């Protein structure tokens, strides 16, 4: 009986927590934005492509929406941005990444990654299912991070690149690169009403178990 109570309680809490999360996402309903750019030593380098890929490596051909998060994809999505750095010489001392945030539903962290992917591998014109592309984004070094929230919706956000990001740009000067991105909202917290319902349910289950135990002892 105790195991049943525990299992039911855990199930209730999981369901309530999931309900409270409301499928958070960032940059939803966006499309290709040619104005997204890397500022490197004061010179803008505009993105040549963008898109999203699910955590199973799925991308729909022709979709340049740089959506990240949950909901629209059905599962979790990360995003990518391609850049041509053919005119860049080594000697990068400062850099940042600026993009149009479109819609942000919940506070969270937007990390950008210096990937080893090439623009040809993530070409948004094609459909593919390749988990290595998703892993190539989220397993790459984090080269910048920014806390964002609903207040950033429909504004430009700028993520400063860290030392690893500067080194990554210097190593790829004269070529082409893919910047990865991933928005992570905080872990969902059950709403007060949901917690009250959860507590009431456990009390009811415990009371029933106690009454049955007393009857069995008579």
Three-state DSSP at 44 gives strand
Domain match, 69 and 135 both: yes
Nearest alpha carbon to residue 70 among 102, 15, 28: 28
Q: What is the pTM of this model?
A: 0.79
Higher confidence at residue 72 or residue 131? 131
- Same domain (yes/no): 96, 107: yes
Q: Which of 60, 51, 67 is nearest to 105 (CA)?
A: 67
pLDDT value, residue 11: 43
pLDDT at 28: 87
Q: Is 148 left (phi over 0), alpha (psi -120 to 50) or beta?
A: beta
- My answer on whether 32 and 14 are in the same domain is no
Res. 73 pLDDT band, cuts 50 70 90: confident
Do 153 and 98 sit in the same domain of this protein? yes
- Whether residues 85 and 112 fall in one domain: yes
Domains in the chain, number: 2
Q: Are residues 165 and 61 in the same domain?
A: yes
Query: Domain range holding 12?
Result: 1-22+189-218
- CA neighbours closer than 13 Å in the CB half-sphere of residue 95: 28
What is the chain's mean pLDDT, rounded?
Answer: 85
Asked whether residue 55 falls in the same domain as residue 118, the answer is yes
Share of the chain above pLDDT 90, in %: 69
């Amino acid at each position: 009986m105790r195991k049943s109570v525990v299992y039911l309680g855990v199930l209730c809490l999981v369901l309530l927590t999931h309900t409270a999360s409301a499928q958070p996402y960032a940059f939803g309903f966006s499309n290709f934005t040619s104005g997204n750019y890397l500022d490197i030593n004061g010179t803008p380098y505009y993105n040549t492509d963008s898109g999203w890929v699910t955590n199973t490596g799925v991308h729909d051909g022709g979709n340049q929406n740089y959506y990240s998060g949950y909901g629209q994809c059905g599962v979790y999505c990360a995003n990518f941005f391609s850049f041509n750095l053919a005119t860049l010489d080594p000697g990068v001392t400062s850099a940042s990444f600026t993009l149009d945030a479109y819609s942000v539903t919940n506070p969270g962290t937007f990390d950008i990654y210096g990937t080893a992917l090439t623009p040809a591998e993530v070409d948004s014109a094609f459909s593919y299912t390749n988990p290595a592309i998703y892993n190539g984004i989220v397993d790459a070094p984090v080269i910048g991070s920014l806390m964002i929230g609903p207040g950033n919706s429909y504004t430009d956000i700028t993520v400063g690149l860290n030392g690893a990001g500067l080194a990554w740009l210097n190593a790829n000067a004269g070529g082409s690169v893919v910047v990865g991105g991933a928005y992570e909202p905080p872990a969902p917290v059950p709403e007060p009403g949901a917690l009250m319902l959860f507590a009431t349910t456990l009390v009811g289950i415990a009371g029933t178990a106690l009454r049955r135990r007393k009857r069995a002892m008579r």
